[in-house]
Amino acid sequence: MAEVNLLARLPRTKRNLEKRKEAQTPENIAISRQYGEQYFDGPREVGYGGYRYDGRWIPIAEDIIRHFNLKPGDRVLDVGCAKGFLVKDLMKVCPGLEAFGLDISEYALMHCEPEVVGRLHLGSADRLPFPDGSFSAVISLNTLHNFERADAIRAAREVERLAPGRGFIQVDSYRTPEQRELFLSWVLTAKFHDYPDGWLRLFAEAGYTGDYYWTILE
């Protein structure tokens, strides 16, 4: 298990923290946690403000393939795949790679990229509908923190079950009290969050042996 930044080449987006903090009403949080049209393609106050493919995941796909030494015929799963942008780019970067995704949002799956139709599954990260050891690698980016702690443990355990020692999980975190305050002024969907040490304890409880990294607001 190692701390590895596989999203280092992902472009950073400018965030209006003050505006988001003002929008953190119980109503907006409830809308966000439905993961529907408003969350993906509605106003920025309740989600992405328009979630569209722009190719930014191509370098991330390259780094994931390099990190796990993936090759044509290998199977990789993106847990929390949304509209399947990373799934699409994994197949683009490595033709013949068998890439799949899973997401809880029916809206996202119904508005996925044409190249991934039939490759995305509706489901929850804490109950992955696949056999033990059925993937060469399992990726979960900014998804597990949307569970309560007990369910996040189950989700990490599921990643381990599908690809023992060959998972990568990235979650919301913070290293300083100041970063924690920034995070709390932005968060809409996360139900569990902690400093890295707290997440490492969670991974240990889950028996998770894959790699990990943190999404930190600065």
User: Which DSSP state fits 38?
Assistant: H
Q: Is the pLDDT of residue 18 over 80?
A: no
Q: What is the pLDDT of residue 1?
A: 83
At 113-172, the pLDDT tens digits run: 999 999 999 999 999 999 999 999 999 999 999 999 999 999 999 999 999 999 999 999
Hey, what are 64's tokens? Answer: 């994931």
Inter-CA distances, 192 with 105, 155, 159, 166, 206, Å? 19, 13, 18, 24, 15
Per-residue confidence band for 217, with pLDDT thresholds at 50, 70 and 90: confident
Inter-CA distances, 150 with 30, 158, 169, 203, 211, Å? 21, 13, 16, 11, 20
More confident residue, 91 or 47: 91
Q: Is the pLDDT of residue 14 over 90?
A: no
Per-residue confidence band for 21, with pLDDT thresholds at 50, 70 and 90: low
Q: What is the pLDDT of residue 15?
A: 65
Q: Is the pLDDT of residue 68 over 90?
A: yes
Q: Is the pLDDT of residue 101 over 70?
A: yes
Q: For the chain, what are the domain ranges?
A: 55-215
| Positive or negative torsion for Cα 69, 71, 74, 78 | positive
Distance (Å, whole) CA 70 – CA 56: 20
What's the angle, vertex CA 90, arms to CA 85 and CA 93, rounded to 5?
A: 120
Give mean pLDDT, residues 98-119: 97
Q: How far is CA 134 from the centre of its chain?
A: 20
CATH number for the segment(s) 55-215: 3.40.50.150
